Each structure stands twice: as C-alpha cells, then as structure tokens.
Amino acid sequence: MQEIQIHNSTFESYLTENEIDSSVQKIAVAINSEYQDRHVLFIAVLNGSFMFCSDLLKKITVSCAVSFVKMQSYEGQETTGKVSELIGLSEDLNGVDVVIVEDIVDTGNTLEKLYALLNDKSVNSIKTATLLYKPEAYKKNLPIDFVGIEIPNEFVLGYGLDYDGLGRNLSKIYKLKKH
C-alpha cells in the first residue's frame, strides 16, 4: 500500500483516481437529470472543493454558472466548531436555484452556515453535492442531496483536501494511518 508523509503524519492510499472519477460521474448524472431544462448556480466552497468542482462541472450538461465562497472550520486535523466566512457572495441570488459544491461534509457546521447565508439572500432552492460524506460525524438535519462516497470518521486528504495547507494537489485520496 502506498504511503505518504505530510508534515509529521503518515497517510495511506484510500480512494483511487478511478473511484473518484466514477463518483463524480454519478453525481453529475443525478444533477443533470434533476435540473433538466433549468438553470443552476453552483456555489463551490473553497479551498477544498476546487478540484471536485472543476471535474464535476466538466460533466454538467444543464445551463449553469459557478461562484465561490471561502469558508474555514478546520485547523490541522480537527474541526474548530466555528465556521468563518473568508470570502462571501456578492451577487444577487434572489430566486436562484443553488447547488452547493463541497469536497466533504463532516459535522455539517459549514453547510449550516452556508444555508443561513443563502436563505438570507432569498434563493429559490438549495441542494448540496459533496464528494465525501462522514455520516458518523454529521450532526445536522439538512439534507445532503448528492453524495459521492460515504466514508468513516477518519481524516482524509488529497484531491483538494489538505492537512494544514499540504496535500491538495494529490490526485488520489489518502487517509491518516493509525498507529
């Protein structure tokens, strides 16, 4: 099994490029069918979702636009419980159908904050697409509409996800190795 060292932690290979690609494809097919003949605004949550968003949007065939928000809840390998909005949304979102694009939904704190922001802007509808979902860690009741892969409550990195800034460039997903 391929292992990598990031900062002082060891990570082992977890999801291959093929597994990631089929999950992205599965989500795209579901979105294309759900929003047939409609227009979608994808709102990708930076930094983690940049790679997923890019791959997903190449497979989207319905009319769409994309915008970005920057949120932060993790420090190192732990969630802080507080979510800060580092870059916000400036456009008029009144009546828009939004699909939130997340790399991973963990506790759901980020999602909850984003829902509140979007509801304040009178959007028409909100759905969430996430590549990874940790059901054991999720504490909210908001629906997660398009899920790529459910994973156990373990720290992962690669394909946009980082450990203190490093690892985002990896094309596979790795998980923290237990000692």
Residue 3 has phi, psi (to 5 degrees) of -120, 150
> First CA to last CA across the chain, in angstroms?
15
Of 9, 32, 54, 79, which lies in the binding site for ligand XMP, with binding defined by CB under 6 A?
79
| Smallest gap from residue 95 Cβ to ligand XMP (A) | 27
Q: Is the CB of residue 27 less than 8 Å from the CB of residue 148? A: yes
Residues with Cβ within 8 Å of 90's Cβ and at least 6 positions away in sequence, in order, are none
Q: Which of 31, 99, 156, 170 binds ligand XMP (CB under 6 A)?
A: 156
Q: Which 75-104 positions form the footprint of Mg ion (CB under 5 A)?
A: 103
Q: Which is nearer to ligand XMP, 13 or 79 (CB)?
A: 79
Name the region of 30 (left: φ>0; alpha: ψ -120 to 50; beta: rest).
Answer: alpha
Token pair 């932690």 is at which residue? Answer: 9
Sheet of 3-6: strands edge to edge? 3-6, 9-15, 173-176, 156-157
Kind of pairing between the strands at 9-15 and 3-6: antiparallel
Per-residue contact track with Mg ion, 104 to 143, x per CB under 5 A?
----------------------------------------
Nearer to ligand XMP, 26 or 175 (CB): 175
Give me the helix-helix angle, 17-34 and 50-57, nearest 10°: 60
Among 35, 42, 43, 48, binds Mg ion (CB under 5 A): 48
- Least spacing, CB of residue 14 vs Mg ion, in Å: 17
Sole binder of ligand XMP in the list 11, 96, 109, 148 (CB under 6 A): 109
User: Binding of Mg ion at residue 158 (CB under 5 A)?
Assistant: no
> Which one of residues 108, 129, 146, 148 is an interface residue with ligand XMP (CB under 6 A)?
108
Catalytic residues: 106
- In the 8-state DSSP scheme, what is residue 107? S
Binding site for ligand XMP (CB under 6 A): 45, 48, 73-74, 79, 83, 102-111, 155-157, 161-162
Binding site for Mg ion (CB under 5 A): 45, 48, 103
